[in-house]
Structure formats: structure tokens, C-alpha cells
Structure 1
Amino acid sequence: MCIFHINYDHKSVLLEEAIQALNINSTGVYVDGTFGSGGHSKLILSKLTKQGRLLAVDRDLSAIKIGKIIAEQDSRFTIIHSTFSKIHKHIENMRLTGSVDGILLDLGVSTLQLNDDNRGFSFMRDGPLDMRMDVSSGQSAAEWLSKASLEDIVWVLKTFGEERFAKIIAKVIISTRRYKPIVRSIILSKLICDIVPYRNVYKHPATKSFLAIRMYINNELEEIAQVLEDSLGMLSTRGRLVVISFNSLEDRLVKYFIRDHSCVVSIPPKIPLTDYQIFSQYKSKYKLKDMGKLMPSKKEIERNTCARSARLRYAEKLMI
């Protein structure tokens, strides 16, 4: 059995960079699509005047409880229990479609979830193998593993975790569940740790499998794809979309979305045209301006190892 020591103290990754990328307008309207413990929301609120407004969203009821405390104390702040795919409906109901100045999405798992033994997100903690972001709906990871076919398990591990040992792990899961239900996170973690032949001192052998199962159970990639598409209608002209991702699948999804809706135009020197005048020629097709990518500094990575895989991409909505 391999032993890994991980520090789960809460530290918002790329916190200052994310807020700077939003280019906060003190009287603007903002959406924090992943409230979590409220780190980003609190900093956004500190930049807003009484006229500013922040809508925070989370599908985790534990996060909603924290958000409600802030909402009771700050009239500028609203917290909503929702998935990504429904955010645009809440914006529509609040009559804010096309008026949002910035949308922030931090796609990492929150400390609240990792530190809760009853959630099953962590391969380092023993608890019920649940993995649902919203425990009030859907099937748990244990329920899915108890009935999924070998082919389905292999597909999930390969597709969402890019796990090279997917077939070996899937076979052991199938054989193990015949005599011992896999209902606790530590059981699954030990099972994987004992059979995966590769050892990396920086990554637990169960990392990819836990990621894959979590993403599948919560339909995460489809939810992300939907909110990205919906952001085009929610944002105001020059509104910012800021996304922090922590794995290659999420990052590619964000990267390609921004690329597919962006127009990269080289403006010749001494030509008296602004970016928006150039982009206006393509307004029927292109809706975003790619503002680039930011990565954590060496200092932040040393302070918080969870920041190693973080990538921040952001874009600005063009005048349509």
C-alpha cells in the first residue's frame, strides 16, 4: 500500500489573477458559477459598490449554507442552488440576460467536498463512496459501480480520467464486487493502489480513476459545455468569461470553445482602426476576443501544491 500526504487547507487557486481577469466594474453584475467556500465571491464583493451585484451558484448544499449566511448580511449578494446548465434560466428570470459583466467558473473540487468524509471525493479519506456534487439527486458512485458493465467502467476511466490501466482496474472492480461491495472510498482507493503498476511520487495511483468516476457521476463535461455556450447570451458587451480548470479534458473544452468563438486578427501598424472595428467585420460569426491564458506562479505552487495543474483562460465578449 502506497502512502501519500496531502494538505487540504483551503486556498483559492489563482485568486487575484481571476479577479483581475474579470476586470471588475464596481457597479457591474457578476456571476460566480462555483461558489464553493466563497473565496472568489468575497473578493469580488470587496470590489463592488452598493450598486454592484453578485449572483453565486453552486450545486453543493454545503456551499449553499455558507452562501446564505453572506446573503443575509449583504443585499448585493444572491446565492442559488443550481447546476451550470440552468444558470442562464436564473439570469433570465432576474432579467439580466445580456447584462452580466463577468462570469467566473472555478472547476476544481472544493475543500468542503474533499474534507467531508461522507462525500467520498477523496481517495485519502474513508467514507461512503458517493461523489455526487448534489447529494439530493442522482446515483452515487457506489450505486453505479455496483451495476456498471466492464465495458462501461473501462470507457469512463479512459474517457474522463485518461487512465492507461483502465481495463485492469475495471476487471478488478468487477471481480471484487462479486464478494465485497465497493461502497467506501478507501476500499476503491486501496484496490486501485494495489494493482496499478506505475508509481509516481507526485500523484496517487487512484487520482485518475476518482476523477473519472466523479466527472461521470456529475455529468461535468456536458454541464461545462452548456454553461460556456450559455455565457455568450448572458454576458454584456465587453463582459468577461474567466475559467479555471484543473485537468486536461476541462482545459481543452474551454480552450476550444474560446478558440471557436474568437477571431484572431493582426492589425497592421499605423492603421487607424481599433480591435472592435476590425472584429465588427466578423460579428456574424465571432463573439469573443481571446484574452489569453494564465498559470500559477512558482511561489503559489510551492505554497499550494493543488495549483500545479491549474490553468486560467479568459475571453471578452465582442460588440455584436
Structure 2
Amino acid sequence: MTSERLDSLQAARMAAIGAAACAVLAAGPAQALAADAFPSRPVILVVPYAPGGGADILARTVAKYLGREWNQPVVVESRAGGGTTIGASYVARAKPDGYTLLISVTQHAIAPSLFKQLPYDYLKDLAPVALLSDSPFILTVPERSPYGSLSDLLTALQRKGSSMNFGSSGPASVPHLAGEMLNQATGAKATHIPFPGTAPAFTALLGEQIDYLFGDTSVLPSVQAGKVKALAVTTRDRSPALPDVPAMSETIPGFALSSWVGLEAPAGTPPAIVTAINATVQKILKDPDLLKSFAETAKVPLPSTPAGYGDFRKAEVEKFRALTQKIGIKLE
């Protein structure tokens, strides 16, 4: 995560503390009572990707800790497709009572720039609850690939061009944007091959059906086991989980993308319930076992208030609008 993003998040958190407290006081007695009783039945976390990817793994980890705090089951439900818009649309239409929540990802901030019409308004129809984590994407190649470094891959791209290909977790996903940024940096035209999530894309990489992949942190165990080679990470700085793997920016100045994950509810969810969920999230983000799990999967926890997360989302939507215009990616 860049220093500018961190500064923005920290400022938003501080500014929002008072607002969050006021929201609790302003909520009427009925809302306060509802928040005290929440949750009284199972809560659903909707993941917008196929099972097995980084978002799914994170959701199941967070669900376990939320379930312990709430003494209620927290069920992870996959609603993949549409570049994450199917899952978002489902939650946006759900009853605004806090029992159906969206595992929101960076891709949700990209979608408004890609589609002429979405069945929901991301910033209006989904209420920000809490940020969860931030992590890099990992540029990986098959174990038997001749490319042992980012420099090797860049040289091959410049020489082979469109005869090479890269996979992604879907059209206009962050890994797709990363691949197109790499094309721009090298002047190459490597062919993009989209998959319905990181898991199937990574399967293709293991089978040597694609040349390289910007994978999320679900690929980390395979990197550590030597099943694939990691050439670089997409965050501005090196990841503590992979200290010997260089950042893309060390070779391509300014190349920086990351994968944030948050929790969102249908618009209209009572503020007292949003605040109560946020409070539980802040508690579990301090749990030593959860922090250890995050560290092992190259994730950094992101404490936040609902208002702070809301400001962050708006900034991300604007950032990716500018980036997609620069790269020239547009979906109908």
C-alpha cells in the first residue's frame, strides 16, 4: 500500500471516530436494542469469486472469528461472475438488516469504470462497514518456466510479444490491469486469457497452459513449496511474507497495485448495526491468531471506521477510473 493511501486512511479514521460515536447515540432506542441483539441468527458473507481464491480464504478466516464473537454461525456463500458484480448486486438487493454482508474487494471499485450500466450503484447501494486487509498480487510463472527473474520475463515479452499470454481472475480484474500495465511498460502485446477466479487461473498456470499470472495471496503456499516461481510483488514495497521477491516498482518505477478487502452491507442497514459489526471487526483484527494468519498469507490488517472506509472507497473509485482510461480497458 502506498504512503499516500496509508495517510489517507489514517486521516479518514481519525476524522470518522467522532462521527461513528455520534451515529450510535443518534440511533433511536429501537435501533440500539436491535444492535444489542445482533446477531440472533446466522450471518451470510457473500464472496464474489469462486471458492479457493484469496477472497474466499480470507472470508472463511474472518467468518470463523466473527462466529466466535457472535456465538452464531457465519456462512460463506460464493456468488461469482460478472467481474464481481453478481455478488455485489445480490447483497445490494438483500434485506438491510446486517444478516447478508458482502466481502468487497478492489474489483468493486473498478467496476463502475468498466460497465455502462450496473444493476446497482456501488457507492450508494452498499454501505461501508469495515476494511479488513490489504495484500499484494504475486507475479508467478510455472516451475519449469525459463524465466527466473522479472528481467528475464521483460526480455521475453519484448522479444516474443503477442505469442506470450497471461491469465487473470477475470476481464478487467486487478490482475488483468496489472498485465496490461506490464504490456504498456514493455511495449509488448501479450494475450490476456481470463478465468472465473484465481483458483482456475492458477490451475492453468500449474498446467503450463499460460505463461504467467498475477495471482492473489492464495498462490503463496505454492510459491513457498516451489511449485511455481514468484518473480515480483505488485505492492510498492516488498512483502514481509516474501522478503527475497522484489517489488515490480524496483524495475518498473511507479508500478503499484494491491488487493484490499472490506465488509459491506445493503444501503439502509441501521447505523447502530453497522457500528456494532464494525466494532466486532476491529476486535478480531487485534486477535494474535488472526494476525498470525494474515502474516502467513501476506495480508496487512486495516483498522477503520465505517465513515473512513466510505472515504477510502470513493478515492479508490476515482483512482481506478483514471487508470482504466489510461490503459483503455472498457467493458459493456
| TM-score (normalised: structure 1) | 0.31
Max radius of gyration: which structure? 1
| TM-score (normalised: structure 2) | 0.30
Higher helix share: 2
- Greater relative contact order structure (CA < 8 Å, 6+ sep): 2
